[in-house]
Structure 1
Amino acid sequence: MKSRKRLTVVAIATSFLFVSASPAFAGSINGSGATFAAPLVDACKGDFTKDTGHTVNYSGGGSGKGRSDFTGNLVDFANSDAPYSSGAPANLIYAPVYAAPIAIMYNLPTIKEPIYLSPASVAKIFSGYITNWDAPEIAADNERVVTTPIFETKKITTTNKGKKVTKTVPVLDSKGKPKIKSYSTKTINIDLPKQQITVWYRTDSSGTSENFTRFLKGANATNPDTRIWPKAQNTTFANGTPNNISTFFNFQGASGSAAISAGVAGKVGSITYSELSYATDNKLPVAFIQNANGEFVGPDAAGTSTFLGGGTINDNGTVSVDFVKKIPGAYPIGTTSYALAYSSGKSAEKQQVVASFLTYMLEKCASKYPEKGFAQITGPLATKAKEQIAKIK
């Protein structure tokens, strides 16, 4: 059995050990894959070029495309939100350099406060068992006493594109974990409208879909209602659902996180799953999701770090999470996304740029752009990521 160790992922750190030296050459690398990682890559690759002289081209296309391009040796690196299930190249290296929440975003303009959803309600919405926002299950989630963690924060000043910017980040405890300052307990009574739900889902092969359907299966594993989400995770959302959603009038598919998020923004009553920054870009509210501890937590870096901290790190650099473990403060749809790199078979110059870029993403970018919703990885997972990056030869 492969050995495993406890995983600690923390939110935003204030200082790092990364030091970039002036390159002996200016190289260019090409990557493709997860749209989940794209907001952070797009925000940070210009900074990487400015600091190192190297250029990064990233085309996205989804985790499935990233793995396909990587297997075909068409790129210098790729990103995937999930590991290969089969057919992984022998010279593959997983580097866990991204961590972020999958947000449940929706379009209900008459509701002026965030809504609350249990995993069972989320599963019933995305499987087609719930088709209207005034369904009894959603009403029960939003007419109750809710407990929400409040994380301790502080302000830091960073330099972004030559300008000093002050941002709010979580405070870490002595073990590098986000600190829960207190809990908010309140009685809510949100009147959901009599409105049809339109479910937007990814049609492309997507690691985000795989992680989301993994949550729907894992978080509902102990629910006596076996209809809720009986299937295991799947990279193609429609293949993971318990019903044939192609026959459902209220399901709408599109390729990529940007497309489904824009679809939600364009149609009242819609809902989808995607990376947090797509909700921000489209000015969409996000739901608080109930964790195994009974708390309702919003999709942020601190809650994601807390959830991932209850998982394990595998020998190959991948992460296994636990949906039924009671972890105070955890946001239960947090996920780690992986850079895919080659241990051999590429030029030394290309490999040097790839290693430099992945180190930069790991150590600098989440803290430079906390508004993108990514958690800064430190502790044992950061150590494992650096070990993996060191294998890029």
Structure 2
Amino acid sequence: MNLKRKIAFIATVGVVALSAGSIPVRAASTIGGGGSSFMANITDICASGYNKSTIANPDRDVVSYSSVGSGNGKKGFSAVANAGKEPDFNLYKFAGSESAYSTGTAPIGFVYVPLIGGPIGITYNLLGVTDEISLSSTTLAKIFAGTITKWNDAAIVADNTARTVVTPAVTVTGVAKVAKSGITATIVRGSTTSTITITATKAAVDAGLKKSLVITRLIGANVKVVKTIKMSAKGSVIVPNAVGASYGVSLGGKIIGNLTPDVVTPAVTTVIGKTITLPATSIIVVSRSDTSGTTNMFANYLNKVEPTIWTKATNDAFSSAFPGTLPTDGSFQSASGNDGVSNYVKANNGSITYAELSYINERSLKAAKIKNAAGIYVAPTVSASADSLANADQDASGLVTQDYVTKTATAYPINAVAYGIAATAPSTNNTAIKSFFSYFLNTCAPASAAGAGYTALSGAFLAKSLAQVAKISAS
């Protein structure tokens, strides 16, 4: 082989080797998931990013997601249409849902993976009302139970009336008197100054004729001589009031004692909230027409915090969770998906519904502040949702239990955690899903969730979710 041919051969081999590094390890899979509309917006973002990434997705898998509602997603993933087959071969290769399978409906060989959290906002359309309204859990439960039917109902008005709260004055009693060796020192606090009075017995005066009484001011580690006075039967010193100050009295280097004036914190009057004038408009409650994980989470909140009003256990179907018979007078309407209910509210004055924050923001709708267990009205935001979900618990199966009575002042109380549901049996498709879920949790959600109105999982919560991912396509 001559030199030119040898060089050409080596160059050709190098090109082949470099090209091989970008060739997929296996044939690409087309992965179609479906279910929860709550998580649809963030899932679309993550699927798009994953499909384009040659680093996270070297096999060029193509992931898509259909927003059909949690109930339809779970049904499409399970072995309903293909009895006896693995979930991997059904309508959806993975499902999305905020709720678990009900008893007797689950397939075999699957795992729940918490993928994303976020607030369920209470969004409404009320012409002429420009401020965001506030609702207590009791008022909210009564609205969705159909027992409050007008926007100017007394309960809603009470939630939206400014309240004056007076914090009473507090007095911290100091050390007003010290005595030693016949010398007594007292301090009396005035509005801007305090008066220190020194009295001494004759014996004490005689014993200290050649000595001076020294008064020092102590603030933290700082010591300053305020006054030096000659020893006598009586004397007084005026000292300025200073925050955190105490006063030392000594004679000839020997400490008589430390005086601390009373500290008075004055009463404080605070106006909480804002008075909003509400119209006598009829309320139209809008619920989901499809079986919905968002419905399940919202109804669960109502049942847990207001069980005497929302008396039924939660369900994916609003009509099944509703405490009674749904009114048929037009005051209750329904629509499919988070998109559908949000669109209805956008178009109809007087209407109110529950939806994931991203759908509310997309339509520039208002969302109510909800009173949490700490007694604070909190708006649905990503950070307020994170403060609430920090108190949630994820069990060994991946299912999440929320703490609806957390006293965290900044916590928004109505939230959901959406699960990716995937099969544990080894397969090419399931391996692709495992890769996508890892990308979702580790890369996409931390970068994109907050901007889209969702709460990314982090810390111990994230670690548990990744442990669930590890079970996919593994047994």
Q: Distance in 2 between matches of 1:141 and 1:369?
A: 31
Report 1:1-393 matches (<5 A).
Answer: 23-25=24-26, 26-51=28-53, 52=57, 53-72=60-79, 73=87, 74=90, 75-86=92-103, 87-145=105-163, 186-221=272-307, 226=308, 228-344=309-425, 347=427, 349-366=428-445, 367-393=447-473
Runs of 4 or more consecutive aligned structure 1 residues displaced over 4 Å after TM superposition:
none
SS at match of 1:82: coil
Letter in 1 for 2:31: I
Q: Distance in 2 between matches of 1:211 and 1:376?
A: 18
SS at match of 1:201: strand
Cα distance 1:378–1:146, how it changes in 2: closer, same or farther (>3 A)?
farther
Q: Distance in 2 between matches of 1:311 and 1:369?
A: 19
SS at match of 2:366: coil
Moved more, 325-334 or 123-132: 325-334
Please, what is the CA RMSD of the aligned residues? 1.9
SS at match of 1:108: coil
Letter in 1 for 2:275: N
Letter in 1 for 2:343: A
**Larger relative contact order (Cα-Cα within 8 Å, sequence gap ≥ 6):** 1
CA shift for structure 1 position 303: 1.2
CA contact (8 A) 1:257 1:275 kept: yes
CA shift for structure 1 position 23: 4.8
Q: Distance in 2 between matches of 1:145 and 1:363?
A: 45
Partner residue, 1:176: none
Q: Distance in 2 between matches of 1:390 and 1:300?
A: 31
SS at match of 2:71: helix
SS at match of 1:188: coil
Letter in 2 for 1:188: K
Letter in 1 for 2:321: G
Letter in 2 for 1:79: G
Q: Distance in 2 between matches of 1:193 and 1:22?
A: 65
CA shift for structure 1 position 325: 3.1
Cα distance 1:381–1:41, how it changes in 2: closer, same or farther (>3 A)?
same
Letter in 1 for 2:450: P
CA contact (8 A) 2:44 2:64 kept: no
- The share of aligned pairs that are identical, in percent, is 36
CA offset digits 1:217-264 (Å, max 9, x no partner):
11224xxxx3x2111111101111113114342100112111111011
Letter in 1 for 2:408: I
Q: When the two structures are aligned, how many residues end up with a matched partner? A: 330
Q: Distance in 1 between matches of 2:23 and 2:325?
A: 55
CA contact (8 A) 1:218 1:324 kept: no
Q: Which runs of 5+ in 2 are unaligned?
A: 1-21, 80-86, 166-269
Moved more, 50-59 or 29-38: 50-59
Q: Distance in 2 between matches of 1:94 and 1:132?
A: 41
Letter in 2 for 1:66: G
Letter in 2 for 1:342: A
Moved more, 301-310 or 262-271: 301-310
Q: Distance in 2 between matches of 1:372 and 1:132?
A: 33
CA contact (8 A) 2:121 2:357 kept: yes
CA contact (8 A) 2:123 2:354 kept: yes
CA contact (8 A) 2:358 2:454 kept: no
Q: Distance in 2 between matches of 1:197 and 1:340?
A: 37
CA shift for structure 1 position 186: 3.3
Letter in 1 for 2:467: E
CA offset digits 1:338-386 (Å, max 9, x no partner):
0001001x62x21221011111111222332423211111111111111
Q: Which runs of 5+ in 1 are unaligned?
A: 1-20, 148-183
CA shift for structure 1 position 185: 6.8
TM-score of the two chains, using structure 2 as the length reference: 0.67
CA contact (8 A) 2:29 2:61 kept: yes
